[in-house]
C-alpha cells in the first residue's frame, strides 16, 4: 500500500500578516459607519473620516495581499484555500480602490454609491479575514 | 437611488470615466448656453498643460496690434491698476490656507501645482513707469510690501485700495508717488477663514464712496461643510468712509474680477463656476451684478439647474436663483475683466476684455487666452473674439496663464501672466 503523506505543517498567518489582515475589518467597518453617519446628518466631516479610513484599509489590505501572494507562490498545492484567500483579498482591495475614488467626489456626490460600496467592501473584508485566519494548512486535505 | 446595485453603480462609473472632454468649439458660450446633463467619471478629468518658458515667443495678438513684455521676473502678478499718471501697479502674491481634508486633496494639490509657477508670491505691489511714453517701462520698483496676498486694486479720490486676502486696506496716494508713505490703513476685515478661494476682487464706484469686494466660496461645492460658507460666494458693498458692509449679491461661486461699466456705473463680474460635473458644465460667466439677487451657488447653476451635491437642498433658494448674463464656457477660469474704450480700435471699442487662466478639469484644455466680448447698448452682443492667444501652444505646452486685464486709457491692454511672472502690454500699431 502506497501512502502519500499529507503535508500537515501549519501555515497560520504570522503576527504581522494577521494584524494587517484583521485590521482591514475595523478600518472598512469604520468607513461604513462614517458613511452612514454622513448619510443621516449631512455633516461633511463624517465623509472625510470615511475617505481616510478607506485609504488606511487599502494600505492594510494591500500589504496583507503581498503576504497572501508570497504564501500562494510558496504553497505546494495552490488550489483551494491559498488561491481563494488571495483572490478574495484582491477583490476586496480592488473594490476598496473604487470606493476610494467614489469618496474622492465632492460632498453629496459620494452618495449613495459610496455607502453601498462601503457595505460591500466591509462584508468582503470580514469574509476574507475569516478565510485567511482559518487557513491553517496550505497543503494536504482540508 | 438607494436600490441601485453595486454593479450598476460600478459599470456606470466605468462608462462615465470613458467619456472625455470635447473640443473647444462645442463649448456653449453666449447669453443662452445649452447645458448638457451632468457627468462625472470614476476619476475627474485632469489635464495640466506642461509649463515651459516663453523664450523668444510671445502671445499672439490681432493683426495691427503689438505685444511687449513690460515687466518680467515678478513674483506671481495677478491684477493690475493704471494710475492717473499712467503708472501701473501690479499686485503680486498667492494666498489660501485651505487644509487638505481628504486623500484626494493631497493628490490633487500635487497635480495642480505642476501647472503653476514655482516662484514664491511677492505679497507686494510693484510700480511700473514709462516716463517718456515710448512703451518701455524703465522704472520697476516696489510700491508697498508686507501685504497679505494682495489681489483686487482700485483707485479713487487720492486713495489707493488693495484687497488683501484677509482685509481691505487703503493707502493715501499723491500723483507721481513711487513708494507708499507707510503701512496701509485697514478699511475693513474680509472673510478669511480657510480661503479655499482666496482672491478678493475689487472695484470702486466712480464717486469713490462704495467699494465692491468679490469673496469666493470656501469649496468647490460645499465639500468643506455648509458652516464655512457663511459670508462666502458673494459680493460685498463696503462704505469707503466707515468700512460698513452688506452683501450686495449672493450665490456667486467665485467672483474673481469686478469692474464698473462706464456710463451706467453698473458693477460687472466674471465668476468661476463649479467643477466635476463634466467637461461642458458649469459655464463660467460674465454678468452684471444685480443688487440683492441670488445667482445659485451652491444649490443650483445657471438658474434652476439643481446641484444635488449640495445637501440639505434648498428649493426656495433654487427658485429664487437668477441666470447670469453671458456664458464664457466651462472651466475657462476667467480671472480678469475690464471695459474697453474706443482707443483700443474699432473692432474692440465697445465691450469687455476677459483674461482666462485656463482649465484643469477638462481633457481638452480651454481658456489660456484673453478674449473680447463685444457689447451693444450696454449688453453683451455676439460671439466672443480672441484677443491674445498662444499662452498654451499648439505643442500642448503652456507658456503663460492670463489673470488680470486692465485697459490703459492711453489705448493699451495690460495683461498679468502669473505663470511666466510677466506683465504684457498690447497696443495698436500707429
Q: What's the CA angle centered on B8, arms B2 and B12, to 5 degrees?
A: 110
Mind giving me the DSSP string for A83-104?
HHHHHHHHHHHHHHHHHHHHTT
For each of the domains in chain B, give its residue range(s) and CATH number, in order of start: 53-428 (2.120.10.30)
pLDDT in tens, B304-314: 999 999 999 99
Q: Which three cell numbers stand for residue B188?
A: 475693513
pLDDT attached to residue B11: 39
pLDDT tier, A137 (very low <50, low <70, confident <90, very high otherwise): low
pLDDT in tens, A15-61: 999 999 999 999 999 999 999 999 999 999 999 999 999 999 999 99
Identify the residue whose cell numbers are 446595485: B5
On the question of a cis peptide bond just before residue A123, with omega within 30 degrees of 0, the verdict is: no
pLDDT attached to residue A142: 40
Q: How far apart are CA B400 and CA B382, in angstroms?
A: 27
**In chain A, which residues have their Cβ closer than 8 Å to the Cβ of B217?**
none
Name the closest residue on chain A to residue B219, using Cα atoms.
Answer: A106
Largest CA distance in chain A: 71
Query: Residue A112 is nearest to which of B2, B226, B312, comparing CB atoms?
Result: B2
C-alpha pair distances (Å), B256 with each of A16, B154, B201, B217: 52, 14, 6, 11
Q: Which H or E run includes B315?
A: helix B315-320
Q: How far apart are CA B276 and CA B123, in angstroms?
A: 31
Q: How far apart are CA B46 and CA B105, in angstroms?
A: 13
Low-confidence ranges of chain B (pLDDT < 70): 1-26
Query: Residue B1 is nearest to which of A45, A104, A112, comparing CB atoms?
Result: A112
Q: How far apart are CA B1 and CA B416, in angstroms?
A: 47
Q: How far is A138 from chain B (nearest CA, A)?
A: 33
Name the closest residue on chain A to residue B39, using Cα atoms.
Answer: A109
On the question of a cis peptide bond just before residue B298, with omega within 30 degrees of 0, the verdict is: yes
pLDDT attached to residue A2: 58
CA-wise closest residue to B91 among B400, B335, B267:
B335
Residue B311 touches partner A, C-beta closer than 8 Å: yes
The neighbour count for residue B173, using CB atoms within 10 Å, is: 19
Name the closest residue on chain B to residue A108, using Cα atoms.
Answer: B309
Q: Residue B215's beta-bridge partner residues?
A: B234
Name the residue ranges covered by the structural domains of chain A: 15-133
Q: How far apart are CA A104 and CA A107, in angstroms?
A: 9
Residue B10 touches partner A, C-beta closer than 8 Å: yes
Name the closest residue on chain A to residue B104, using Cα atoms.
Answer: A104
Q: How do the residues of chain B divide into helix, strand and coil, expressed in percent and rounded to 5?
A: 10, 35, 55
CB contact under 8 A, B43 and A108: no
Contacts of B62 (CB under 8 A, 6+ apart): B347, B386, B387
Give the number of C-alpha atoms closer than 13 A to the C-alpha of residue B315, restricted to the C-beta side.
Answer: 0
Residue B50, classified by CB atoms within 10 Å of its CB into exposed (0-12), middle (13-18) or buried (19+), is exposed
Give the number of C-alpha atoms closer than 13 A to the C-alpha of residue B176, restricted to the C-beta side.
Answer: 1
Locate all alpha helices (DSSP H) within chain A, ordered by sequence.
15-41, 44-74, 81-102, 113-133
Q: Residue B141's beta-bridge partner residues?
A: B127
Query: Residue A104 is nearest to which of B1, B102, B222, comparing CB atoms?
Result: B102
**In chain B, which residues have their Cβ closer than 8 Å to the Cβ of A47?**
102, 223
Q: Which residues of chain A have a Cβ shorter than 8 Å from any chain B Cβ? A: 42-45, 47-48, 51-52, 55, 98, 100-109, 112-113, 116-117, 120
CA-wise closest residue to B125 among B175, B79, B72:
B79
Residue B1 touches partner A, C-beta closer than 8 Å: yes
CB A51 within 8 A of CB A37: no
C-alpha pair distances (Å), B235 with each of A102, B57, B257: 33, 38, 11
Query: Residue A106 is nearest to which of B6, B43, B309, comparing CB atoms?
Result: B309
Residue B103 touches partner A, C-beta closer than 8 Å: yes
Identify the residue whose cell numbers are 464656457: B329
Query: Residue B102 is nearest to which of A48, A113, A120, comparing CB atoms?
Result: A48
**In chain A, which residues have their Cβ closer than 8 Å to the Cβ of B109?**
none
Residue B41 touches partner A, C-beta closer than 8 Å: no
CB contact under 8 A, A106 and B219: yes
Q: Which three cell numbers stand for residue B82?
A: 493704471
Residue B177, classified by CB atoms within 10 Å of its CB into exposed (0-12), middle (13-18) or buried (19+), is middle
Identify the residue whose cell numbers are 491553517: A136
Q: Which three cell numbers stand for residue B224?
A: 468643506
Q: How far apart are CA B43 and CA B55, in angstroms?
A: 35
CB contact under 8 A, B225 and A45: yes
Query: Residue B10 is nearest to which of A98, A107, A109, comparing CB atoms?
Result: A98
**In chain A, which residues have their Cβ closer than 8 Å to the Cβ of B42?**
98, 101-102
pLDDT attached to residue B6: 38
pLDDT in tens, B7-63: 333 333 333 333 333 445 457 899 999 999 998 888 888 888 789 999 999 999 999
Cα A107 from chain centroid (whole Å): 26
**Looking at residues A123-134, what average pLDDT do you find?**
94
pLDDT tier, A138 (very low <50, low <70, confident <90, very high otherwise): very low
Name the closest residue on chain B to residue A119, using Cα atoms.
Answer: B6
CB B389 within 8 A of CB B321: no
Helix (H, G, I), strand (E, B) or coil at B127: strand
The neighbour count for residue A63, using CB atoms within 10 Å, is: 17
**In chain B, which residues have their Cβ closer than 8 Å to the Cβ of A112?**
1-2, 4
* CB under 8 A, 24+ apart: contacts of B314-319: B317/B251
CB contact under 8 A, B104 and A108: no
CB contact under 8 A, A104 and B104: yes
CB contact under 8 A, B42 and A102: yes
Q: Which three cell numbers stand for residue B73?
A: 521676473
**Residue to test with chain A: of B16, B42, B102, B109, most A Cβ within 10 A:** B102
Residues in chain B: 430
Q: Which three cell numbers stand for residue B360?
A: 484643469
**In chain B, which residues have their Cβ closer than 8 Å to the Cβ of A104?**
43-44, 102-104
Query: Residue B222 is nearest to which of A45, A101, A107, comparing CB atoms?
Result: A107
DSSP class of residue A12 equals P
CA-wise closest residue to B397 among B92, B115, B207:
B115
Q: How far apart are CA B131 and CA B153, in angstroms?
A: 22
Amino acid at each position: 500500500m502506497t501512502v502519500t503523506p499529507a503535508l500537515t505543517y501549519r501555515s497560520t498567518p504570522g503576527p504581522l500578516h494577521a494584524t494587517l489582515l484583521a485590521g482591514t475589518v475595523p478600518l472598512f467597518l469604520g468607513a461604513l459607519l462614517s458613511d452612514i453617519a454622513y448619510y443621516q446628518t449631512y455633516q461633511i466631516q463624517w465623509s472625510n473620516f470615511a475617505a481616510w479610513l478607506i485609504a488606511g484599509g487599502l494600505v492594510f489590505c494591500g500589504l496583507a495581499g503581498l503576504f497572501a501572494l508570497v504564501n500562494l507562490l510558496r504553497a505546494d498545492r495552490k488550489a483551494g484555500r491559498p488561491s481563494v484567500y488571495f483572490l478574495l483579498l484582491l477583490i476586496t482591495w480592488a473594490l476598496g480602490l473604487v470606493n476610494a475614488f467614489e469618496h474622492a467626489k465632492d460632498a453629496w456626490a459620494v452618495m449613495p454609491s459610496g455607502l453601498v460600496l462601503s457595505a460591500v467592501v466591509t462584508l468582503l473584508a470580514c469574509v476574507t479575514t475569516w478565510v485567511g485566519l482559518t487557513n491553517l494548512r496550505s497543503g494536504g486535505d482540508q | 437611488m438607494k436600490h441601485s446595485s453595486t454593479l450598476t453603480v460600478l459599470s456606470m462609473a466605468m462608462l462615465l470615466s470613458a467619456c472625455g472632454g470635447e473640443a473647444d468649439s462645442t463649448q456653449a458660450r453666449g447669453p443662452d448656453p445649452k447645458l448638457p446633463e451632468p457627468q462625472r467619471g470614476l476619476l475627474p478629468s485632469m489635464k495640466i498643460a506642461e509649463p515651459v518658458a516663453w523664450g523668444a515667443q510671445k502671445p499672439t495678438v490681432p493683426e495691427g496690434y503689438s505685444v511687449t513684455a513690460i515687466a518680467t521676473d515678478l513674483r506671481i502678478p495677478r491684477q493690475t491698476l493704471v494710475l492717473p499718471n499712467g503708472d501701473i501697479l501690479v499686485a503680486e502674491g498667492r494666498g489660501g490656507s485651505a487644509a487638505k481634508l481628504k486623500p484626494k486633496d493631497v493628490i490633487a494639490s500635487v497635480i495642480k501645482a505642476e501647472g503653476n509657477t514655482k516662484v514664491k508670491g511677492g505679497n507686494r505691489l510693484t510700480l511700473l513707469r514709462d516716463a517718456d511714453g515710448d512703451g518701455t517701462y524703465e522704472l520697476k520698483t516696489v510700491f508697498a510690501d508686507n501685504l497679505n496676498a494682495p489681489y483686487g486694486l482700485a483707485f479713487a479720490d487720492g486713495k489707493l485700495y488693495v484687497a488683501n486676502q484677509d482685509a481691505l486696506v487703503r493707502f493715501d496716494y499723491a500723483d507721481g508717488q513711487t513708494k507708499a508713505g507707510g503701512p496701509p490703513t485697514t478699511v475693513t476685515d474680509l472673510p478669511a477663514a480657510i480661503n479655499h478661494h482666496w482672491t478678493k476682487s475689487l472695484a470702486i464706484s466712480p464717486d469713490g464712496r462704495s467699494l465692491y469686494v468679490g469673496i469666493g466660496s470656501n469649496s468647490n461645492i460645499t465639500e468643506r461643510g455648509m458652516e464655512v460658507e457663511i459670508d462666502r460666494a458673494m459680493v460685498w458693498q463696503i462704505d469707503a468712509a466707515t468700512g460698513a458692509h452688506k452683501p450686495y449679491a449672493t450665490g456667486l461661486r467665485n467672483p474673481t474680477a469686478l469692474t464698473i461699466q462706464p456710463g451706467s456705473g453698473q458693477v460687472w463680474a466674471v465668476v468661476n463656476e463649479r467643477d466635476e460635473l463634466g467637461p461642458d458644465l458649469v459655464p463660467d460667466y460674465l454678468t452684471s451684478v444685480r443688487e440683492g439677487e441670488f445667482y445659485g451657488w451652491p444649490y443650483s447653476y445657471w438658474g434652476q439647474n439643481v446641484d444635488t451635491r449640495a445637501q440639505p437642498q434648498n428649493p426656495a433658494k433654487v427658485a429664487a436663483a437668477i441666470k447670469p448674463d453671458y456664458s464664457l464656457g466651462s472651466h475657462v477660469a476667467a480671472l480678469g475683466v475690464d471695459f474697453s474704450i474706443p482707443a483700443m480700435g474699432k473692432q474692440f471699442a465697445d465691450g469687455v476684455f476677459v483674461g482666462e487662466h485656463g482649465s484643469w478639469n477638462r481633457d481638452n484644455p480651454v481658456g489660456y487666452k484673453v478674449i473680447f466680448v463685444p457689447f451693444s447698448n450696454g449688453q453683451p452682443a455676439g460671439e466672443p473674439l480672441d484677443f491674445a492667444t498662444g499662452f498654451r501652444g499648439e505643442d500642448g505646452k503652456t507658456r503663460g496663464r492670463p489673470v488680470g486685464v486692465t485697459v490703459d486709457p492711453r489705448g493699451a491692454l495690460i495683461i498679468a501672466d502669473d505663470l511666466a511672472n510677466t506683465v504684457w502690454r498690447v497696443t495698436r500699431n500707429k
